[in-house]
Amino acid sequence: MPLKNPDLLRSQCYINGAWVAADDGDTLNVTNPATAETITSVPRCSAAQTRAAIDGATLAQREWRKRTAADRANVLHTWHHLMLEHQEDLAQIMTAEQGKPLAESRGEIAYAAAFIQWFAEEGKRTYGDVIPSPFPNSRIVVIKEPVGVCAAITPWNFPAAMITRKAAPALAAGCAMVVKPAEQTPLSALALAVLAEQAGVPAGIFSVVTGDPHVIGGELTSNDKVRKLSFTGSTAVGRLLMQQCAPTLKKLSLELGGNAPFIVFDDADLDAAVAGAVASKYRNAGQTCVCTNRFLVQTKVYDAFAAKLAQAVAKLKVGHGTESDVNQGPLIDEAALCKVEALVADAVQGGAKIVGGGGRHALGGTFYTPTVLTGVLPNMRVAKEEIFGPVAPLFRFDTEEEAIQMANDTEYGLAAYLYARDIGRVWRVSEALEYGMVGINSGIISTEVAPFGGQKSSGLGREGSKYGIEEYLEIKYLHMGL
Ligand code: ADP
């Protein structure tokens, strides 16, 4: 990997300001999904090491919370600048371990850094309240305080941004954070820790512990000193973690799975809809929780939309993320590839037609050809399960009511998209969608300034925006007798 600063590539964990191996020296290999080669290995840390990270965070947080918000913001701003200064190296590390095209990795580093900048500033605005007292001889004041020691368990699809959008509000609010990154992508997390250390984040305030999810997750969820868990990942694991947090009653933010509908009405600008569809579906090879899972297309424009989409998708270049002009890299692993294959096979067996792609890519490995399916029906697996791959299933509908009913016919409620020009329809449908986020004539919705999160089985809480920092703040009410 051509790094200007090879020091960013680490094979040790960062616990309480020290770079360490596992207690017993055990390691975990990190693999490049495009080549199947081992990049390096990281420690398989023990529960005792996780406990040490939590203990260190507890001590360090007592001092960190006393500093002014402006003081903490200065440290965060330095971290933000360092990320941008090392954007290219961070992107190279990300593409190596995750597979996404370099252009997307560079974009994610900028996006990840933006959360740090945003929350550095939001930390200064954690206002309280003065409530008019119902009693003549007392006054009522509300203040906001940091929650304390927080834990984050993060996924592999956004190896940097899913960490900063938890760690930045936590640190800005005066909390400490222990992160367990996904086992597939720990190197981006460790590179962030290198820069946090350089930026002056005090020892113990930001630790990264790598290894077995059950061992580290078990400690993070059961330890009484951890007051909050923020998790991004599958709904199944989210439910499990919620259960594990129940005995110690932690605060929870859960950003879980989705089954995003993308509704194309017959008054839509079809070219704009196709551009939005490609952006929403094929980014990161379809491996994001807000990627479209189901295209619902009104009958009158169904054939035209399908033809235009297939044409656009045929132009996507599949390859190693490090090659120039590549739009789509490999899937993260063999299991992901097998799932996509099984879902497509199920749809085809049920009568769906492949109008583009439809199988493994000639490059081999975990590369899959961008695919479009028509004639897809609500009883097929692609209608219910998160595809997490570059496959666009097209369902047909006739009326607005039918579109809303189909869109909401899922346990999930993260992102939804709709393309239409009739302003009344846009409002009616947006309000009827049981989703936390709605993209209207827009296929990309993620930004640090807006609240990201879901309803129903897609989770709890919001990340980013002015709302995101509230997840790391406690409300305390002071009743003052005069
Ligand atoms: P994905 O399907 O995207 O890999 P997961 O929910 O399996 O989603 O993983 C997201 C994160 O949750 C990863 O960091 C993974 O290591 C972690 N994880 C998975 N299972 C557990 C568990 N039982 N306890 C704690 N963390 C877990």
Distance CA 149, CA 129 (A): 25
**255 a catalytic residue:** yes
Output the CA 236–ligand 1 centroid distance in Å.
9
Q: Which residue in the block uniquely carries the two structure tokens 């440290």? A: 75
* Percentage of the chain exceeding pLDDT 90: 99
68 exposed, middle or buried (CB, 10 Å; 0-12, 13-18, 19+)?
Answer: exposed
Q: 63 with 99: CB under 8 angstroms?
A: no
Output the CA 278–ligand 1 centroid distance in Å.
28
Q: Which of 143, 112, 109, 139 is nearest to 126 (CA)?
A: 143
Long-range contacts of 67-72 (CB under 8 A, 24+ apart): 67/174, 69/123, 69/124, 69/126, 69/172, 69/174, 70/124, 72/120, 72/123, 72/171, 72/172, 72/174
Structure tokens at 131: 């409530």
175-218 pLDDT per residue, tens: 999 999 999 999 999 999 999 999 999 999 999 999 999 999 99
Q: 417 with 260: CB under 8 angstroms?
A: yes
- Active-site hit among 97, 108, 122, 255: 255
286-336 pLDDT per residue, tens: 999 999 999 999 999 999 999 999 999 999 999 999 999 999 999 999 999
Structure tokens at 190: 């460790």
Write out the E strands in 401-441. 412-413, 415-419, 437-440
Q: 208 with 152: CB under 8 angstroms?
A: no
At residue 251 the predicted structure's pLDDT band, cuts being 50, 70 and 90, is very high
Distance CA 31, CA 156 (A): 12
Region 350-358 average pLDDT: 97
Structure tokens at 48: 């005792």
Distance CA 325, CA 329 (A): 11
Distance CA 240, CA 38 (A): 31
6-41 pLDDT per residue, tens: 999 999 999 999 999 999 999 999 999 999 999 999
Q: 43 with 10: CB under 8 angstroms?
A: no
Output the CA 182–ligand 1 centroid distance in Å.
7
Query: Phi first, then psi: what are they for 210, rounded to 5°?
Result: -105, 155
334-346 pLDDT per residue, tens: 999 999 999 999 9
Distance CA 378, CA 447 (A): 31
Sign of CA dihedral 203, 205, 210, 211: positive
Instruction: Transcribe 316-379 into DSSP letters.
Output: PPBS-TTSTT--B---SSHHHHHHHHHHHHHHHHTT-EEEE--SB-TT-TT-B--EEEES--TT
Which residue, judged by its Cα, is nearest atom 27 of ligand 1?
Answer: 213
Q: How far, rounded to the nearest angstrom, does the alpha carbon of residue 14 sit from its chain's CA centroid?
A: 22
Q: 142 with 470: CB under 8 angstroms?
A: no
**DSSP secondary structure letter of residue 463:** B
At residue 172 the predicted structure's pLDDT band, cuts being 50, 70 and 90, is very high
Index of the ligand 1 atom closest to the CA of residue 216? 25
User: In testing the pocket of ligand 1, which one of 45, 50, 153, 242 has its CB within 8 Å of the most ligand atoms?
Assistant: 153
User: So what's the pLDDT on residue 346?
Assistant: 98
Which residue, judged by its Cα, is nearest atom 14 of ligand 1?
Answer: 182
pLDDT at 1 over 90: no
At residue 241 the predicted structure's pLDDT band, cuts being 50, 70 and 90, is very high
- List residues near ligand 1 (CB under 6 A): 153-155, 180, 182-183, 213-214, 217, 233-234, 237, 240-241
Instruction: Transcribe 36-94 into DSSP letters.
Output: --EEEEEE---HHHHHHHHHHHHHHHHHHTTS-HHHHHHHHHHHHHHHHHTHHHHHHHH
451 exposed, middle or buried (CB, 10 Å; 0-12, 13-18, 19+)?
Answer: middle
Distance CA 228, CA 342 (A): 37
418-441 pLDDT per residue, tens: 999 999 999 999 999 999 999 999
Index of the ligand 1 atom closest to the CA of residue 157? 3
Distance CA 477, CA 123 (A): 19
343 exposed, middle or buried (CB, 10 Å; 0-12, 13-18, 19+)?
Answer: buried
Mean pLDDT of the chain: 98
